[in-house]
Amino acid sequence: MSTFIQRYTRRERINHWVVAIAFVLAALSGLALFHPAFFFLVHLFGGGPWTRILHPFIGVVLFLFFIVMAALFWRFNHITAADRQWMKRIGDVMRNRDQGLPELGKYNAGQKYLFWILVVSVPVLLISGIVIWQPWFAPYFPVWLLRVAVVIHALAAWIMILGIVVHVYALFWVRGTMRAMTRGTVSEAWAKHHHRAWYRQMTGK
């Protein structure tokens, strides 16, 4: 029997998945209004007006749960010397040549950079989104600010979507990762291989 290490608590998993579901809904409804090629996505939300109505509320849910999640994970995401070493060998990581990589804590540099991208982009999306939120808030802002906010909102969303594409792919690519968020645990072998410093800390080995 392989043994497992607790990686995420129940609370963290619920929190993560609320953010994840909100993200998927916000991204689909946002893309629908972003380019005509994606406009068909409005049908998932009950048509154009409903997409416009729901999108900002989904975004607020995302934000509220995200700040709790960010607070929980904050202390694990400081970039260290080992992370810089690891980033220098990102080519090897990509080719699955993992021998001799530095020992990492709970997260690797890729995960940490994603964390910081989200910590910046989610509040930017919230603020720029409130500025263009029809009909509740947009009428209180000057038109020039709406113009700026639309561009910033699209740019931040784009960066966030790209980050999440990488995030989702990485969990598919790196086998044994998914169960960390679905069951809360990872195998000892997985922890030892990918996050040895964290493994030592958790097991005392």
Partner 1 sequence: MALQSLDIKARSATTTPAPGARGTIPVAKLIDISKCIGCKACQVACMEWNDLRDEVGTNAGTYDNPRDLTDQSWTVMRFSEVEVQQGKLEWLIRKDGCMHCADPGCLKACPSPGAIVQYANGIVDFHEEHCIGCGYCLTGCPFNIPRISKKDSKAYKCTLCSDRVAVGMEPACVKTCPTGAIVFGSKVDMIHHAEGRIADLKERGYSNAGLYDPQGVGGTHVMYVLQHADQPELYANLPKDPTISPLVGLWTGIAKPLMSLGIGLAVFAGFFHFVTAGPKEVEEEETD
Which positions touch partner 1 (CB under 8 A)? 1-2, 33-39, 42, 48-49, 51-52, 94-96, 98, 132, 134-135, 138-139, 143-144, 146-148, 150-151, 154-155, 158, 161-162, 165-166, 169, 172-176, 187-190, 192-194, 205
Per the omega criterion (within 30 degrees of 0), is the bond before 135 cis?
yes
Q: How far is the CB of 75 from partner 1 (least distance, A)?
A: 26
Kindly write down the DSSP assignment for every residue of 61-81, as one continuous string: HHHHHHHHHHHHHGGG----H
Catalytic residue among 167, 193, 194, 195: 167
Specify whether 167 is catalytic: yes
- Min CB(204)–partner 1 separation in Å: 13
Round to whole Å and give the CA distance between 178 and 165.
15
> Rounded to an integer, what is the distance from CA 184 to the centroid of its chain?
17
Interhelix angle 143-173/10-32, nearest 10 degrees: 130
Residue 34 backbone phi and psi in degrees, to 5: -90, -45
Q: How far is the CB of 63 from partner 1 (least distance, A)?
A: 20
47: alpha, beta or left, given left = phi > 0 and alpha = psi -120 to 50?
A: left
* Least distance from partner 1 to the Cβ atom of residue 157, Å: 9
Minimum distance, C-beta of residue 14 to partner 1, in the bound complex (Å): 27
Cα–Cα distance measured from residue 111 to residue 117, given in angstroms and rounded to the nearest whole number: 10
Alpha-helical runs (H) found in 42-140: 48-73, 81-88, 90-94, 109-131
Nearer to partner 1, 10 or 204 (CB): 204
Report the alpha-carbon distance of residue 99 to residue 92 in Å, rounded: 9
Catalytic residues, which ones? 167
